Amino acid sequence: MSPTPATAAVRVRRAELSDLDDLVALEEATFDSDRMSRTQYRRHLDSDTARVLVASANRRRFLGTAVVLFRKGSSVARLYSIASKPEARGKGVGSALIEAAEAAARQHRCRTLRLEVRTENHNAVRLYERLGYHRIGHHEHYYQDGSHAWRYEKALA
Ligand SMILES: CC(C)(COP(=O)(O)OP(=O)(O)OC[C@H]1O[C@@H](n2cnc3c(N)ncnc32)[C@H](O)[C@@H]1OP(=O)(O)O)[C@@H](O)C(=O)NCCC(=O)NCCS
């Protein structure tokens, strides 16, 4: 059997406290700036205005995460963070997380999902565009390290 699962084996569920170590380790391995701390993750786990999702294989093996934020009274949800483990990339984990993020946004009665992405993050940009996201803006020096961002959004059916 392949060590990394195909799309069909990827499950996305709500994150639990027991996922904190994996969440923080992936955050630190993935992002050099604008990182979420353990405290922030913990707060999001308990929050009504956040949904932390975990992709896993066979329920246990942690493959990636996405964080969706909501605002009271707003029909726009925000895909705040998404990452899959380096060895699991290119196998549908990111796509499964985005679909689950969209489902979570719909559950919160949101009509739009928005996100920001580094302009040079070509893998992510291609993935978002393939999944139906449209570029709606550009933000100079959006990130702590001075990188620029595209803003994308998708209307949720
Ligand atoms: C962006 C990211 C979440 C995508 O996750 P993923 O699990 O690779 O997602 P998928 O497998 O569903 O799709 C990845 C796309 O890149 C392609 N790809 C192929 N090999 C790849 C690899 N080794 N690494 C990344 N992407 C690869 C896939 O074929 C797919 O292309 P397509 O959209 O044209 O089909 C992941 O690359 C990641 O964690 N990157 C670092 C963190 C990051 O940049 N997050 C986004 C911040 S806005």
State how far the Cα of 31 lies from the Cα of 57, in Å rounded to an integer. 23
Domain edges within the chain: 7-110
Homologous superfamily (CATH) of 7-110 is Gcn5-related N-acetyltransferase (GNAT) (3.40.630.30)
Concatenating the DSSP letter of every residue in 46-104 gives: H-TTEEEEEEEETTTEEEEEEEEE--TT-SEEEEEEEEE-GGGTTSSHHHHHHHHHHHH
Flag whether pLDDT at 17 surpasses 50. Answer: yes
Does the pLDDT at position 5 exceed 80? no
Q: Per residue in 107-143, pLDDT tens?
A: 999 999 999 999 999 999 999 999 999 999 999 999 9
Distance, in Å, from the CA atom of 33 to the CA atom of 44, rounded to the nearest integer, reads 19
126 close to ligand 1 (CB < 6 Angstrom)? yes
pLDDT at 15: 97
Closest residue by Cα to atom 18, ligand 1, is 90
pLDDT of the residue at 157:
83
Q: What pLDDT was estimated at residue 58?
A: 78
List, for residues 47-85, the tens digit of each pLDDT value.
999 999 999 997 679 999 999 999 999 999 999 999 999
Q: pLDDT at position 8, please?
A: 54
Average pLDDT of the residues in 18-31? 96
How remote is the CA of residue 89 from the centroid of ligand 1, in Å?
Answer: 5
Does 117 contact ligand 1 (Cβ within 6 A)?
Answer: yes
Sheet strand arrangement including 10-14: 10-14, 50-57, 61-69, 76-84, 112-118, 149-155, 134-139
- pLDDT given for residue 105 in this prediction: 97
Q: What percent of the chain has pLDDT over 70?
A: 94
Strand partners, 66: 53, 82
Nearest CA to ligand 1 atom 21: 90
